[in-house]
Amino acid sequence: MREKIQQLECVLLIDDDEATNFYHTIILEEESTGVHIQSVKSAEEGLDFLLSKGDYAELPQPGIIFLDIHMPGMNGWDFLVKYDELSQEILDRSIVVMLSTSNNPDDIERAAQIPVVKEFVNKPLTSEAFWKVVNENFG
């Protein structure tokens, strides 16, 4: 359905599983045009991307962050604590979507209690789930 999405320059995938990032990148590239898709393999790298550190200095900032929960080192919950400490400018331009294999009601409830988390989506990411997030947040 490749479509230009106004106000969405970049989507950031934060997941330690390379195959999952690859698959989700394909889905996102098939659904949108002119949107930079960036995948990173750790929460720390995701923070570096948001802060435009190093290799990420010249890349567009994400409008959507798809965040895995279970990652080694800093997990998705830890990322959200650090994310909440970022500048208001960064917080205002991005929304966070938890993207997880977890069906644990505690994870779903915990995500619902965090204001920056706009949605909880089960993996794998589908075209329908992507467009639901886009339509609700980038109308």
Rounded percentage of the chain residues whose pLDDT exceeds 90 = 88
- Position 19 confidence tier, pLDDT thresholds 50, 70, 90: very high
52-109 pLDDT per residue, tens = 999 999 999 999 999 999 999 999 999 999 999 999 999 999 999 999 998 899 999 9
Report yes or no: 48 and 55 within 8 Å, Cβ to Cβ: no
What would be the CATH architecture of the domain defined by 3-129? Answer: 3-Layer(aba) Sandwich (3.40)
What pLDDT is attached to residue 7? 76
Domain ranges of the chain: 3-129
List strand residue ranges (DSSP E) for the chain, in order. 3-4, 10-14, 32-33, 36-40, 64-67, 95-100, 117-122
Cα radius of gyration rounded to whole Å, the chain:
14
Per-residue pLDDT tens digits for 46-67? 999 999 999 999 999 999 999 9
Using DSSP's 3-state secondary structure scheme, residue 47 falls into: helix
